[in-house]
Structure 1
Amino acid sequence: MVARVRTVAFQGIEAVPVDVQVMIAPGKVNMHIVGLADKAVAESRERVQAALHASGLSMPSKKVTVNLAPADLPKEGSHYDLPIALGLMAALGAIPGDMLAGYVVLGELSLDGTIAAVAGALPAAIGANAEGKGLICPFACGPEAAWA
């Protein structure tokens, strides 16, 4: 099963839709993030694993592939942490896979599972509204996102 969560990439002040696709499959135990991700996104793997552990969930003893699509669009920043974690939770069956279909998600995870503020809540909210979706973001970003 492939779990999907919508997020955004930032190009200037514009938010461009990005699909986070998470698949768990038999294979060497590892987590790969593909789709033209920068160093902060690649480091997301460690933050997501630690946050899931802190929340009482464990990583599967399988191969986890995270695809950030479209693959040719550069992805920068730590705001991909929360959508990756939620996609992984959906792929594990910890949350219903369709639960997030009506939302755009962004947020950075701390190692203890708390959600930290990120830049770009307003353009993300504008982009979510344009798609007819709600926005899931860190509480601290709520006032900025509310302007949309």
Structure 2
Amino acid sequence: MTRPGRPDPDPGTWLLNKIDAREQAVTCQIEQAQAEIHVLTARLGELTETIEHLRITRKTLLSLAHEPDTEPVAAPPALPDNPAYQQILTVFADLGRPLRARELCEALDLPLAHNSIQNVRAKLKRLVSHGVLVENEPGLFAQPLP
């Protein structure tokens, strides 16, 4: 089938053109498949990480459920090595209310001299720093609430 004015195409060129067109189409499909693989690989990584976190959480919860319910026992605060501190705490326990240094001196039958009151106040402050007493307001000391 020859057309007037046009020579017949060379069968070799025609086949090469068909192969080139097919190669370009397949190359495009490969690039699309690789892009999809990249997206799916990223999604697979996210899902794998999520499932691993869920497994770790389950394992942790199950191990905690099988542990006995024990509250950590806090060590009692260490008292300074002086019997006066024990006497002060005994007065607080007996009276069961907040005290000022002057009131504590009276309860301990100490002289109400300035030096005695200041010494007791210093001991009270030291007990506060050790966490044995609290200072509710300036100069007013009490045992902490349980």
TM range, smaller chain = under 0.3
Higher helix share: 2
The higher-RCO structure (CA 8 Å, 6+ apart) is: 1
Q: TM-score, normalization: structure 2?
A: 0.20
Q: TM-score, normalization: structure 1?
A: 0.20
Higher strand share: 1
Q: Give the greater-gyration-radius structure (CA).
A: 2
